[in-house]
Amino acid sequence: MVKIRFLGAANEVGRSGFVVDDGEKILLDYGVKLTPKGIEYPLPVTDNLAAVVISHAHLDHTGQLPHLFTRSNTMIYMTPPTLDLSKMLWFDTLKIAGLEAMDASFSKEEIHAVEQFTFAVNYGRKLKVGENTSIELFDAGHIAGSAITKVTSPRDKTVVYTGDIRLDDTRLQTGAVLPAGGCDALLIESTYGDREHPDRKETEKKFVADVQDTIDKGGTALVSSFAVGRSAEMIDILNEYNINADIYLDGMCQKAARIYLNYPKFIRNHSFLKKSLDRALWVKNISMRKAALKKPSVIVTTSGMLQGGPVYAYLPEIYKDENSTLFLTGFQVKETPGQILMETGKINLNGIVVKPKMKVEKYDFSSHAGKSELLKIIGKISPKKVVLVHGDSEVMKKLLKTLKSEGFDAVAPNIGDELVV
């Protein structure tokens, strides 16, 4: 009998955290949820853990991990790129907390402790954790180093956790490698569980055409991207299609790109990515930002949901320009500035809510599985029970209905619930 407790990401996107307990307790992810009102945390871990396994570096899966080390030390398992990318994001969290006079839930000492207690694991290696539990990681196809986790408990019960997953190949990642042999419970993300993604090649072509149109009109093409993965992908696309303008890379995108370049085995077509990044102009100071705005240019920067970052160094300069365009390239969580801008046409700049004259365009470059991919993943893994996590409640309801109509034993727990399998 295995118990699974849901500390977060249950009928919501964000703050992932799940405890698998068959006598030995394994924590899968421990993230945060960033909202306009502040940070929401997963439920606290009250048990002594045998191990922690991290699926990938995004803060909604790792953001609260260092906090665990304020009270105890636990062995952690993740891929090498995930450790480097996570450290980058944790130190950035401390930097932002300092700038905004906020209390972070951890310090540099806890980050160093996480690094000290982390065992870097490559895909396909079965490891014993605790006394009688084993784990194995598989490529999840989401970002560099992202992993599906298969947990085999002391009583030979198996729990598979997808983390964030993409089955189809994307520009920088090959599609997920699924574990064989079935499982007792499959914890699967459901971010896009009610819809499909458009054809990616067609999306690329439309994006590039719109960027070039902005340049031809004499405007600035401001590409708002997630630092990890998406920003490098945008640079890669812009280079392949030979955009006729200077392409600038600003903010934490640069650190993430350097980490990506350090792990060629985790990147699809690494050599072309390197060429693309070499072509880009890496913004080093304020004068380079000013130079980028003096002529028609493409600027790739953070943050992907307009929650902060260098994008706000550029928006006040271009929002009145009808020839300029803001390009949103990722999922916009409810109540984030990006989602509010898309819904209302307004954004807060320097404390003043304005209605921009620049164009605002959104493109689906998601590295999450769409509905048909999720159904294919579930069919291939063939679990005894499907457990939906990491999705808006309305999306989960629709996917749950589909799964039950196809004969699957499926549930969508709430935060604090405990499931026995």
In sequence order, what DSSP letters do the residues of 53-75 get, joined into one string? E---SSHHHHTTGGGGGGT----
Find out whether 283 and 249 touch, Cβ atoms under 8 Å. yes
Residue 144's H or E segment, with its range, is none
Residues 221 and 335 in one domain: yes
pLDDT of residue 38: 82
Residues 211 and 342 in one domain: yes
Residues 23 and 111 in one domain: yes
pLDDT of residue 335: 84
| 212, HSE (Cβ side, Cα atoms, 13 Å) | 13
- The residue among 345, 362, 379 that closes a domain is 362
Residues 117 and 156 in one domain: yes
Q: Select from 153, 169, 176 the least CA-distant residue to 55.
A: 176
pLDDT of residue 229: 92
Q: Select from 65, 53, 163 the least CA-distant residue to 114.
A: 65
pLDDT of residue 100: 64
Q: What is the CATH number of the domain that holds 218?
A: 3.40.50.10890
d(CA 399, CA 411): 10
Residues 342 and 392 in one domain: no
Q: Select from 83, 100, 96 the least CA-distant residue to 302.
A: 96
Give the number of other Cβ atoms within 10 Å of residue 260's Cβ.
Answer: 27
d(CA 158, CA 220): 51
* pTM: predicted TM-score of the whole model, two decimal places: 0.95
Residues 103 and 213 in one domain: no
Q: What is the CATH number of the domain that holds 371?
A: 3.60.15.10
d(CA 147, CA 139): 5
List, for the chain, all residue ranges whose pLDDT scores fall below the cut of 50: none
Q: Give Cα separations from 367 to 75, 133, 281 (angstroms).
A: 29, 30, 26
Mean model confidence pLDDT for the chain: 95
Find out whether 116 and 130 touch, Cβ atoms under 8 Å. no
pLDDT of residue 280: 97
Residues 95 and 187 in one domain: yes
Residues 281 and 383 in one domain: no
Number of structural domains found in the chain: 2
Range of the domain at 281: 200-362
Residues 191 and 226 in one domain: no
Within 172-323, strands assigned E span 183-189, 221-224, 246-249, 281-282, 297-301
Give the number of other Cβ atoms within 10 Å of residue 350's Cβ.
Answer: 8
Residue type, 305: M
pLDDT of residue 326: 98
Residues 240 and 351 in one domain: yes
pLDDT of residue 353: 96
- The residue among 343, 362, 381 that closes a domain is 362
Residues 180 and 206 in one domain: no
pLDDT of residue 101: 56
Residues 169 and 309 in one domain: no
- The residue among 315, 343, 362 that closes a domain is 362
